[in-house]
Chain A
Amino acid sequence: DQQVKQNSPSLSVQEGRISILNCDYTNSMFDYFLWYKKYPAEGPTFLISISSIKDKNEDGRFTVFLNKSAKHLSLHIVPSQPGDSAVYFCAASAFGTYKYIFGTGTRLKVLA
């Protein structure tokens, strides 16, 4: 049972435009969500997180939006840069647990 789903395996965006990566979840007990970026042969790098008490969190070019009623979150990258090309993972955890459940990832390619 895939509790965290990233339905788009890949996404291509022109440099300077907005990248929108989507994530859906099924477990209503999840209350903390994170996005990680992963380059080949490296471990995931933390990007941004959001608690379920918020619906938006911004950090520089990265903004995460959370829609609890739809059980959906998205990561916006504006403006996209070639160095953003990587695999992006959405992850979630439930209150009182510390393990993350990851999606299968979306490969973002930013074209120069």
Chain B
Amino acid sequence: DTGVSQNPRHKITKRGQNVTFRCDPISEHNRLYWYRQTLGQGPEFLTYFQNEAQLEKSRLLSDRFSAERPKGSFSTLEIQRTEQGDSAMYLCASSSHTTGSTEAFFGQGTRLTVV
């Protein structure tokens, strides 16, 4: 296992289009997180899953955003009717509940540009 994998790495879309990103976590990790990072800021929490259950959502996650983790494996983050303000790096991370440590390991991110 080479770590958390995110696809695509880059996405350019026109305003109003829908986009979907995929995250494949480290295989034995049961927790999966989505964060968003804009220029000059640290990553901001969006949502997190334990197995297939979405346990917490940030108020940053408007109705246009939806995340799923079917079967507790990979996850998708969809943004509907994209706006220019959605342009950011979208980061996925995973961690294990069972190892006793809680550090999360991040993927390389998907950079979204809305034009």
Query: Could you list which residues of chain A lie within 8 angstroms of chain B, going by C-beta atoms?
Result: 4, 32, 34, 36, 41-46, 49, 89, 91, 93, 97-105
Contacts and interface: CB of A to CB of B under 8 A. Distances in A.
A104 B40 contact: yes
Contacts of A105: 41-42
28 contacts: A36-B106, A41-B108, A42-B108, A43-B6, A43-B91, A43-B107, A44-B43, A44-B91, A44-B106, A45-B106, A46-B103, A49-B101, A49-B102, A89-B43, A91-B42, A93-B102, A98-B48, A98-B50, A98-B56, A98-B95, A99-B45, A99-B56, A99-B58, A102-B42, A102-B44, A103-B42, A104-B40, A104-B41
Contact of B45 (A42, A44, A49, A100): A100
B31 interface: yes
Nearest to B105: A46
Interface of B: 4, 6, 31, 33, 40-45, 48, 50, 55-56, 58, 91, 93, 95, 101-109, 111
Contacts of B109: 42-43
A49 B103 contact: yes
A93 B111 CA distance: 25
A4 to B, nearest CB: 8
A60 to B, nearest CB: 16
